[in-house]
Amino acid sequence: MKNIITTLLFFCITQLGTAQTEEDAWVYFTDKENVASSIANPLIILSQESIDRKNLHNVAIDEKDVPVNEAYIAQVKNTTGITVLAKSKWFNCIYVRGTQANISDLVSLSFVDSIDYADNSLDSRKSIFHTEDRTPIEKNKFGVKTTFNYGSAAQQIQQLNADYLHEQDYTGSGMTIAVMDSGFPGVNTIEGFKRIRDEGRLLDGYDFVRRDDNEFAFSGSSHGTQTFSDIAGFIDGEFVGTAPDAKYYLFITEDVATEGPKEEALWVEAAERADSLGVHVINTSLGYSNGFDNPAYDYTTSDMDGQTTFISKGANMVFEKGMLLVSSAGNSGNSSWGIITAPGDAPGALTVGAVDVFGSYASFSSRGPTADNRVKPDVVAKGLGAAVIRSNNAVSTSNGTSFSSPIMAGAVACLWQAFPSMTNAEIMQLVRESASLYNNPTIQLGYGIPNFKAMFESLSIDENSVENIKVYPNPVRDRLFFDLATKELLEIRIFTTEGRIVKSETLKNLNSISLNSLSKGLYLVELISDTSRYTLKISKY
């Protein structure tokens, strides 16, 4: 009898444990509320900075920008056994945790369109990530010098010729960068970030893991502090990041206590917030592949096709919304996994691998190609022995594509500052085409090491003239003249040093424009034709 009771008890406990096993899933909604009125009045859903950036680059404000219906979320939260962990307006869904039975019951709600489990074996149909149409992302081709004593960061900046951009006074001013990571302790106190704090350029942030904006990111893992330092850090004579004068948002999306697709959902939510705030460049030194707490959620290498994982689909939406995502390739080069990790597999990401001080491949850097045979990584930067600032303000070195990515992100932001009318696709392609292996990419280095000096010079007017183009006078008081031998229609765009467009006119042949409406100061002038684009700075007095 004792054996029978024990057996029955074991059976009951086993069944109870099975019934209570929790699963993760995305729940997709059928619609949104107030879509037409929100699009007609975009300041309800987006910041002015976001609207300006989208308008400049002809990025549509559409239904994807409209928030998820909070009434729907509230109803799901009130459902027995369901916890809502994240939401996405781009995909009109929420990320939930609960028993399979309770999650499946959500289908009965009139506003629930479909459910996609993190464990694909639980889906009654193929995952939407595999069945959704794939839209390919096209490759679009296309005064005063600032000097820094870079200290320990000198080599990693000079390897890219990014110091040349700084010398031309393109140091990230007017650009807004979001950094997604696991924590940023010390950023609010140490000297290495005092410059951005004192100048009010550390704008805000949020801890998406703990849903907290009180001291939002100044705790947790110091990984984010180090990656952030490679873009924004500044200790005079000891260390300078690649975009020391940009503005920043810091977002915690990585939960160091766990590992699973929940973090992908948090990342997408953070990227959406970055878009609504007007961010230009996102750096993410995170990657997802296998080794999840629940092995059923692990990806395979065949999933690294840029369209399967939720975070990679989010990365492609970052691109669609006009931002530029710079992503680490991953550190799987010496493991059985080997290849890049998500979101680095996304066509919409500029994916960065790692090299050493000599430009040689760092063996830990994840290799390409993607599962659908695209070149990845796109480019490389120093990631072996990269200089960083640690959370105790010590300047040290670290290894990983986690650091080559922000080094590249800051340089890209400075380049975009110099050519603000260019789209994210044009900037990304410029970076690829300038790289050392563009004509012969490899699986280790992709297109190689970019040359930011070459990019800048190919698009810039040297001393106000290049071949058949002359712009004068400079400094200018009230009217700027253009001598153009070309018969092409030419668009003239004038920006403040903060990147705000203040004048746009179309000229043909020899002509001039009035600057009487502009205040005194420095401006950036872009001259754009069907076949060329040039930029220069002018001073109005």
Residue 524 parent element (H or E): strand 521-528
- For residues 495 and 301, give the distance between their C-alpha atoms in angstroms, rounded to a whole number: 45
d(CA 464, CA 491): 17
Q: Does the pLDDT value for residue 390 go beyond 50?
A: yes
Task: Average the pLDDT over 255-271 and give the result.
Answer: 96
Q: How confident is the model at residue 127, as a pLDDT?
A: 37
pLDDT band at 89 (very low <50, low <70, confident <90, very high): very high
CATH number for the segment(s) 462-540: 2.60.40.3080
Looking at residues 103-116, what average pLDDT do you find? 95
pLDDT, one tens digit per residue, over 316-330 is 999 999 999 999 999
Mean per-residue pLDDT, 11-33: 75
Question: Between 540 and 267, whose confidence is greater?
Answer: 267
Q: What is the percent of the chain with per-residue pLDDT over 70, rounded to a whole number?
A: 88
* pLDDT value for 524: 86
Q: Give the pLDDT mean for 497-516.
A: 80
Contact predicate 469/483, CB 8 Å: yes
Assess contact for 360 and 436: CB atoms under 8 A: no
Average pLDDT over residues 124-134: 40
Distance CA 13, CA 459 (A): 70
Residue 71 has pLDDT above 90, yes or no: yes
3-state secondary structure of 285: coil
**DSSP assignment of 188-223, as one string?**
TTSGGGHHHHHTT-EEEEEETTTTB-TTTTSSB-TH
Q: What is the pLDDT of residues 273-304, one digit of tens each?
A: 999 999 999 999 999 999 999 999 999 999 99
pLDDT the model gives residue 216: 56
Is residue 313 exposed (0-12), middle (13-18) or buried (19+ Cβ within 10 Å)?
buried
The pLDDT of residue 129? 36
Determine the Cα–Cα distance for residues 39 and 65; give it in Å rounded to an integer: 8
CB-based contact 329:352 (threshold 8 Å):
yes
Are residues 109 and 27 in contact, defined by beta-carbon separation less than 8 angstroms?
Answer: no
Confidence band (pLDDT; 50, 70, 90) for 140?
very low
- The full set of domain ranges for the chain reads 22-131, 154-458, 462-540
Closest CA to 344 of 314, 364, 388: 314
**What is the DSSP code (8-state) at residue 518?**
S
Give the separation between CA 280 and CA 269, rounded to whole angstroms: 16
**Span 195-237, pLDDT tens digits:** 999 999 999 989 999 987 655 557 778 999 999 999 999 999 9
- Supply the mean pLDDT for the chain: 88
pLDDT of residue 120: 87
Q: Which of 428, 421, 518, 480 is nearest to 138 (CA)?
A: 428
pLDDT number for residue 535? 82
More reliable by pLDDT, 132 or 113: 113
8 A C-beta contact, residue 239 and residue 154 = no
- What distance separates the 2 farthest-apart alpha carbons in the chain? 104
What is the DSSP pairing of strand 83-88 with strand 93-99? antiparallel
Q: Structure tokens of 236?
A: 């005079």
| Rounded Cα–Cα distance for residues 243 and 489 (Å) | 34
Residue 32 pLDDT exceeds 50:
yes
In the predicted structure, residue 306 carries a pLDDT above the cut 70 = yes
pLDDT value at residue 506: 83
Q: What is the pTM of this model?
A: 0.87
| Region 247-255 average pLDDT | 95
469-487 pLDDT per residue, tens: 778 888 888 888 887 665 5
Q: How far apart are CA 507 and CA 484, in angstroms?
A: 10
Q: How far is CA 496 from CA 174, 176, 405, in A?
A: 9, 15, 28
CA angle, corner 149, sides to 145 and 152, nearest 5? 140
**Average pLDDT, stretch 74-85?**
92
| Yes or no: domain 154-458 corresponds to CATH 3.40.50.300 | no
pLDDT at 311 over 60: yes
pLDDT in the model for residue 146:
63
At 38-68, the pLDDT tens digits run: 999 999 999 999 999 999 899 999 999 999 9
* 3 state SS of 152: coil
Question: Smallest Cα–Cα separation from 375: which of 276, 306, 291, 458?
Answer: 306
Q: Which residue has the tokens 């959704």?
A: 132
Query: What is the per-residue pLDDT across 410-449, written as a single tens digit (0 to 9) for each?
Result: 999 999 999 998 999 999 999 999 999 999 999 999 999 9
How high is the pLDDT of residue 499? 76
Average pLDDT rounded to a whole number, residues 456-467: 64
Amino acid 484: pLDDT: 67
